[in-house]
Amino acid sequence: MLSKERLNIKKNNIGITFTILVNVMLVLFSSCSDKDKNLAKAISDRDSLPTLHTIGVNTLISDSGITKYKIITEDWKIFSKKEPPYWAFEKGVYLEKFDSLLNIDASIKADTAYYYERQKLWELKGNVHIQNLRGDKFDTSQLYWSEQERKIYSKKPIRIEQNDKSIINGKFGFESNQELTQYTIFNSSGVFTVKDTPPDSTKTDSIK
């Protein structure tokens, strides 16, 4: 028979061994859990990273073989795995929009811009400035340009300086065609409609 001393020693050894095993299992479980968390985070964060990041851009953009506009920007990121996918110009952008004969029919500047590829929609934010072919200047804090609908619009206040130096302020935004030659301005006193006229002719405005 084992003495009481030897029994106590054996029990103590078993207790120590069991404690060590439990601690090892807890460490391994915690480690695996942390790895799973890090792996899940890495997978989810991967989609938030840009698939393309370009610095110092000066390029022409074409669609179906037709040159549509020129982009000049300090920083261009493309998020093709985002939903919806988009381009980001968060350090400012300058655009020149071309007509079918490659004439510049509008120039656009903004502090920040996003282009949603599927919708073919530009969102311009910050100090947005546009000048059309006949010299009218448009200033607002937010502007949308839908290539699909072929229109430019805003719900923010807008200031328009026409080429004859007359100024119109719209408190509730405006809508226009892509060339910014036919536009409607909304404000508290009514709707102002500017009819399209060739750049070299006398412009007539009508106010409703």
DSSP string, 112-167: EEEEETTTTEEEEEEEEEEEETT--EEEEEEEEEETTTTEEEESS-EEEE-TTS-E
State yes or no: cis peptide before 199, omega within 30 of 0: no
The 8-class DSSP code of residue 29 comes to H
Please count the other Cβ atoms lying within 10 Å of the Cβ belonging to residue 170.
Answer: 22
Query: Token pair 């009218």 is at which residue?
Result: 136
pLDDT given at position 47: 67
pLDDT given at position 90: 96
- When pLDDT is averaged across residues 68-76 and rounded to a whole number, the result is 94
CA distance 131 to 155: 19
- When pLDDT is averaged across residues 167-173 and rounded to a whole number, the result is 87
Give the predicted TM-score (pTM) of the model.
Answer: 0.68
Lowest mean pLDDT among 13-27, 71-85, 95-109, 116-130: 13-27
Under the banding of pLDDT at 50, 70 and 90, the label for residue 100 is: confident
pLDDT tens-digit readout, 103-141: 888 899 999 999 999 999 999 999 999 999 889 999 999
- Report the chain's mean pLDDT, rounded to a whole number: 77
CA distance 30 to 78: 37
